[in-house]
Structure 1
Amino acid sequence: MDGKKSRKSLLDFLDYLAKKGLMNKATANARKAAANNVLSILDENEADDVTVVDIDQLFVRFANLQGSKYKPESLNVYKGRLKAAIVDFKNYQNNPMTFRPAVQFNGRKAAERPKTGGQGEVGPPDPPVFRPVASVSGPPPASVSVLPIPIRPDLVVQIQGLPYDLTAAEASKIANVIRAMASTE
């Protein structure tokens, strides 16, 4: 049975947003592609009401089943698109008359857009992204693509680049770095 909160209804809703000009067609299509790919792992019962799906847990499952096909950055983009699609879908379901899509601008919600001043100034730049430096001693060993680790009900940490032949000493070294990052509060 295809309920009004089903996977199919969500995909139809995204088509509706694009068709009616309520959302940029490319944005709606990108959200639809993410929703279609990720929600495809749900069984029929789970897909009957996508508004109650635990997205973090769903992405752990998706990464385990199909994560090797995607870069970690792509998984994060898919997750953001799916969350946005479901939030809009829920808001529309709750009150179609007052619905306005939460369209994003460069990955940020409209309320978080940089404000331009009189001279065309923008807010402070985004902080730099840390990128680990590759070893100069040769190619890295074969590694696990992405290892999702649920640490809280609403938070899954993903570790990338662990070698298949990880030793206990190397695991301890990584654990010590993570322990050093923990807050003492």
Structure 2
Amino acid sequence: MADQDYSESAFLEFLRRSAVSGIVKPATGRARKLAAEHLLVQLKSHERLDLRVVDVDELCSRFHKIQGSTIRPENLEVYNQRFSSALQDFFRWCENPAKFVSNEGELPQAKLVARRDDAGQAAAREELALNPPRSPYDIFPVPLREDLVVYLQNIPLDMTRAEANKIAAVVQALAVVDEEK
């Protein structure tokens, strides 16, 4: 379609509408919008009119030169990936809005495994997720009475006396007042 609007304003409207209408997941929409907000300020005037001419890597390079050491390279790479995928979706949406499906990336590994598993494997995977195995090394039994054992878990091996006193204070606060017999 020759009359499609590929401008910055049309792109921002697409990001807003795609998140609101459910075309993309809300978290994906927010992440893409954040990346776009950071990178779009570096657009040149001719790029603002037609985003198809934007070289995302070069745009990120401009952004990095201005931001300098205030942005970490791994953050810039994430912005690059999110902005690139948002632009790809925008261009495909402009070409055919009626048949558009977001390219949010590959299916999460869990969904791929779930499709592959049979009913027995799925049940076993669910059981592991709900009741993960525990290491006997990080659970400390504390016998209180003949018929009662309390277990302490997630105690750091490098715990200080001050930290132990904090835990002891919490336990003491939970105790009922001793009655004289």
Output the TM-score relative to the length of structure 2: 0.57
Segment drifting more, 52-61 vs 11-20: 52-61
Q: Distance in 1 between matches of 2:12 and 2:40?
A: 10
- Find the structure with the greater CA-based Rg: 2
Deviation, 1:30, is 1.1
Name the residue aligned to 1:10. 11
Name the residue aligned to 1:25. 26
Deviations 1:96-145 (A, max 9, x none): 111000113xxxx23x7462133257xxxxxxxxxxxxxxxxxxxxxxxx
Q: Distance in 2 between matches of 1:65 and 1:41?
A: 9
Whether 1:90 and 2:91 are equivalent positions in the alignment is: yes
Q: What is the aligned residue count? A: 114
Name the residue aligned to 2:162. none
Residues 22 and 101 in structure 1, CA contact (< 8 A), matched pair in contact too? yes
Deviation, 1:60, is 1.4
Deviation, 1:65, is 1.4
Unpaired stretches in structure 1, ≥5 consecutive residues: 122-185
Kindly report which structure 2 residues correspond to 1:61-76, keeping only aligned pairs within 5 A, or say none.
61-76=62-77
Query: Which residue identity lines up with residue 100 of structure 1 in the other structure?
Result: V
Q: Distance in 1 between matches of 2:68 and 2:88?
A: 24
Deviation, 1:68, is 2.2
* Greater percentage in helix: 2
Deviations 1:66-108 (A, max 9, x none): 242211111111011001100000000111111000113xxxx
Residues 11 and 36 in structure 1, CA contact (< 8 A), matched pair in contact too? no
- SS of alignment partner, residue 45 of structure 2: coil
Name the residue aligned to 1:80. 81
CA RMSD, aligned part only? 1.9
Query: Which residue identity lines up with residue 77 of structure 2 in the other structure?
Result: N
Kindly report which structure 2 residues correspond to 1:58-137, keeping only aligned pairs within 5 A, or say none.
58-104=59-105, 109-110=106-107, 113=109, 115-116=112-113, 117-118=117-118, 119-120=121-122
Deviations 1:29-63 (A, max 9, x none): 11011012101111222211112211111111111
Q: Distance in 2 between matches of 1:100 and 1:67?
A: 36
Unpaired stretches in structure 2, ≥5 consecutive residues: 126-181
Percentage identity across aligned positions?
35
Query: Which residue identity lines up with residue 16 of structure 1 in the other structure?
Result: R
Query: Which residue identity lines up with residue 11 of structure 1 in the other structure?
Result: L
